[in-house]
Amino acid sequence: MGGVRVLVGTSKGGFVLTSDDGRRAWEVEGPLFGGWEVYHLAGSPADPDRLYASQSNGWFGQVIQRSDDGGATWDAVGNDFAYEGEPGTHLHYDGTSRPWELTRVWHLEPSATDPDTVYAGIEDAALFRTTDGGHSWSELTGLRTHETAPSWAPGAGGLCLHTILPRPDDPERMLVAISAAGVLATDDGGESWRLANRGLVSDFMPEPEAEVGHCVHKLARHPARPDVVYMQKHWDVMRSDDDGASWHEISGDLPTDFGFAIDVHAHDPETVYVVPITSDEQHYPPDGRLRVYRSRTGGHQWEPLTDGLPQADCYVNVLRDCLAVDALDPCGVYLGTTGGAVYVSPDEGDHWTPIVHDLPRVLSVEAQTLP
């Protein structure tokens, strides 16, 4: 079979884009679940035809869909994301305490080895897991009951658990990221958690180097170098060389270090991609030019990638789950915008082409490299 399947979640449905290894000609299928928000579509690394989708809206709540045939057909599976025990409270924007309440599933992270096992990161921030293909979900309560949880407060997008990063060499060890609490780490499969924010500095907090409260936007790492973790924070691009135990800034010569998305080249752990966004008050690229920045040196030195991307009058955003890579050679890079475009670069970011121009607001992009 071969080729690539790109899974696109948008504000009005899901889309599946497929191509052969050349990544020049694309078939577009969708919308799936038309009219619903699809925050995330994800495929199982253990079975690429097993897909999961988070489908939600304000009227009808949360639905999880599953496909066993690569997206040709879908079935609604379990949607019972009940917090275990007394949910407790977290801080709200206005400083009052609010009970934990499910809004939606932000991110689905299928196991690398078992198609029936998937982690789900939800808003309000908690981590759930299914081991039966999505029919039932159980909370890993140690995270939400962390001693600092009552002090967690939402970022602009809500109190969302948006990143789940199991180590490929030891899935019991994971990092998760929550806006706006920061990074937490577990060594025991999610039973217990510790903060992993040392080195982060956030000037919007009264104590900028506090242990918790950082608005971490996205984490990424290369499977061959699991100790190295890259982070796009609210402001600052960061790097850890010790699996999140400490962080240092690698923003270097970026035009702005605000942004949402970050990803790592499939074949080179030192090649990293970010999409700089003007500021937290101006969620669009600097100068109206959509530029991906690539570092070949693990940070600090960055080069703009512009060929094929709009370089005038462009005021879209690129959200945190909207940058992805495939595992072909050369590595393909994918980018989705709030303006409804999905771009592909089949050559590591050197040249870009839109696959689609006019989808709804793109919420997530995942690239599956098919066997």
Partner 1 sequence: MSTEDTLGQAHAPPGEHRPRAADTAIVVRVALPHQLRHLARLRGEAVVEVTPPVTVAAVVDALEAAHPPLVGTLRDRETGRRRAMIRIYADGEDYSNAPLTTELPPVVVSGREPLRLVGSIAGG
Euclidean distance between CA atoms 50 and 66, whole angstroms: 7
Which helix H or strand E contains 173, and what residues bound it?
strand 170-179
Identity of the residue, 22 or 34, whose beta carbon is nearer to partner 1 in the bound complex: 34
> CB of 30: closest distance to partner 1 in angstroms?
14
> CB of 35: closest distance to partner 1 in angstroms?
6
Euclidean distance between CA atoms 289 and 292, whole angstroms: 10
Residues sharing a CB contact under 8 Å with residue 229, sequence separation 6 or more, in sequence order = 165, 175, 219, 220, 221, 239, 240, 243, 244
Sign of CA dihedral 336, 360, 37, 180: positive
Closest of 155, 214, 227 to residue 184, by C-alpha? 214
> CB of 294: closest distance to partner 1 in angstroms?
39
Question: What is the rounded end-to-end Cα distance, in angstroms, of the chain?
Answer: 6
Q: How far is CA 296 from CA 67, 107, 253, 305, in A?
A: 37, 28, 13, 12
Identity of the residue, 2 or 35, whose beta carbon is nearer to partner 1 in the bound complex: 35
Euclidean distance between CA atoms 111 and 165, whole angstroms: 10
Euclidean distance between CA atoms 88 and 98, whole angstroms: 8
Identity of the residue, 123 or 257, whose beta carbon is nearer to partner 1 in the bound complex: 123
Residues of this chain that bind partner 1 (CB under 8 A): 34-36, 57-63, 76, 79-80, 82
> CB of 322: closest distance to partner 1 in angstroms?
24
> CB of 107: closest distance to partner 1 in angstroms?
19
Identity of the residue, 22 or 99, whose beta carbon is nearer to partner 1 in the bound complex: 99
> CB of 33: closest distance to partner 1 in angstroms?
8
Is there a contact between 300 and 316 (Cβ–Cβ < 8 Å)? no
Residue whose tokens read 């602009």: 156
Residues sharing a CB contact under 8 Å with residue 110, sequence separation 6 or more, in sequence order = 42, 43, 44, 45, 46, 50, 52, 117, 118, 119
> CB of 258: closest distance to partner 1 in angstroms?
29
The pair of structure tokens assigned to 263 is 């990803």
> CB of 52: closest distance to partner 1 in angstroms?
15
Identity of the residue, 63 or 164, whose beta carbon is nearer to partner 1 in the bound complex: 63
Identity of the residue, 119 or 137, whose beta carbon is nearer to partner 1 in the bound complex: 137
Identity of the residue, 98 or 289, whose beta carbon is nearer to partner 1 in the bound complex: 98
Identity of the residue, 122 or 215, whose beta carbon is nearer to partner 1 in the bound complex: 122
Identity of the residue, 53 or 237, whose beta carbon is nearer to partner 1 in the bound complex: 53
> CB of 56: closest distance to partner 1 in angstroms?
10
For 103, other C-beta atoms within 10 Å of its C-beta total 16
